[in-house]
Amino acid sequence: MNLSKYLPRAAVLLLAEELTKEEVLARLRQALLASPYYADFPASQAAAVEEMLLHREAQHAPTGLGSGIAFPHARVQGLPRPGLAMAVLRQPVDFRAIDNQPAQIVCLLLVPDNNPLLSLHLQSQSVRLLMNAEMRRKIIAAPDAETVYRLFGESEIELDRSLAARDVMQKISFEIKADTPLRSLTHWMSQHATDCAAVTGDGGEIIGQITCKRLFHFGLPEFFSQLKSVSFIKDFDPFEKYFFQESQVSAAHVMTTDFCAMPPDATILEVVFALSTENYPCVFVVEDGKLVGVIDQRIVLEQIINF
């Protein structure tokens, strides 16, 4: 099956002018819902769809995926079928990607609210195509919308396979080495709202894991965890040790070697089992011996349950 089944020709756009994120979303939504593909969807509901998209952008994790790609999406009540729209932007737009790169390729996915599994498959398969550097290069260099439609719309996809780790993982945008200072790694983990990070060697292989829990307890005095009450030391500063050691501590001092790593084709069932039953804080996705992505409970909630 190819993506042209879900991607109307009229919903493929080349946009040369400078636009805001909201204007890009509006152009894509208008092109998709005004196409013959959605002739049976009431035009009166278009405003509600726009509101859903803007709410999704404001309330949830960023839809910028990195590498110049953004994938805004919404589940729409009463939508008869999934649909894709695509824009190539000559003036890139910020979609708050994890690598801080603005988007040049924006795919919009609208899906019925009662079929999230198909939606996940469509998104994951589309993203896999766009993560191919050669495919991105061809799309960005395309002279017209017809060429973009042919390149992307006729690509083969597989909707009958199980979701895998590669379909939901978050790409790695920051390398933590053994000598990364404590201040740098805590800033990065806070900035990207992650509870778990991998420490990698010179070849990109994982050598350890750092968690927020580990960092939090690292600075506390040893006796603190044994206290039943703090009423008699209410004026004590629990982080005095942390600030004293901060300048001398690196990732090597706080990492542990008990981590969970899986290949990109590991099933979602395996990932969820590791997170829920084996109680790993995250699953690191490793390909050819190198770290390529991470999955934690927050990502599973966002990418699957709250899609």
Same domain, 99 and 196: no
Q: What percent of the chain has pLDDT over 90?
A: 36
Res. 60 pLDDT band, cuts 50 70 90: low
Domain of residue 44, CATH code = 3.40.930.10
Chosen domain end from 128, 161, 194? 161
Same domain, 30 and 142: yes
Q: Are 130 and 136 spatial neighbours (Cβ–Cβ below 8 Å)?
A: yes
Res. 63 pLDDT band, cuts 50 70 90: confident
Tell whether pTM > 0.75.
no
Say how far apart CA 33 and CA 83 lie, in whole Å. Answer: 9
Say how far apart CA 114 and CA 54 lie, in whole Å. Answer: 20
Say how far apart CA 207 and CA 262 lie, in whole Å. Answer: 14
Residue 234 confidence (pLDDT) = 60
- Indicate the number of domains in the chain: 2
Same domain, 45 and 152: yes
Report pLDDT digits (tens) over 244-274.
565 678 889 889 999 999 999 898 889 989 9
More confident call, 197 vs 191:
197
- Mean of the per-residue pLDDT values of the chain: 83
Same domain, 126 and 201: no
Domain extent for 278: 170-305
Mean pLDDT confidence for 9-20 = 94
Chosen domain end from 136, 161, 186? 161
Residue 106 confidence (pLDDT) = 95
Same domain, 198 and 229: yes
Same domain, 197 and 219: yes
Same domain, 24 and 85: yes
Q: What is the b/e burial string over 120-141, where b = at least 16 CB atoms within 10 angstroms of the residue's CB? A: bbbbbbbbbbbeeeebbeebee
Kindly tell me if the per-residue pLDDT of 226 is higher than 60.
Answer: no
Residue 122 confidence (pLDDT) = 81
Same domain, 150 and 254: no
Same domain, 91 and 108: yes
Domain of residue 275, CATH code = 3.10.580.10
Residue 148 confidence (pLDDT) = 92
Chosen domain end from 133, 161, 189? 161
Residue 235 confidence (pLDDT) = 60
Mean pLDDT confidence for 164-192 = 82
Report pLDDT digits (tens) over 98-141.
788 899 999 999 988 876 667 777 887 888 888 888 999 999 99
Same domain, 213 and 257: yes
Same domain, 257 and 146: no
Cβ-based neighbour number of residue 249 at 10 Å: 18
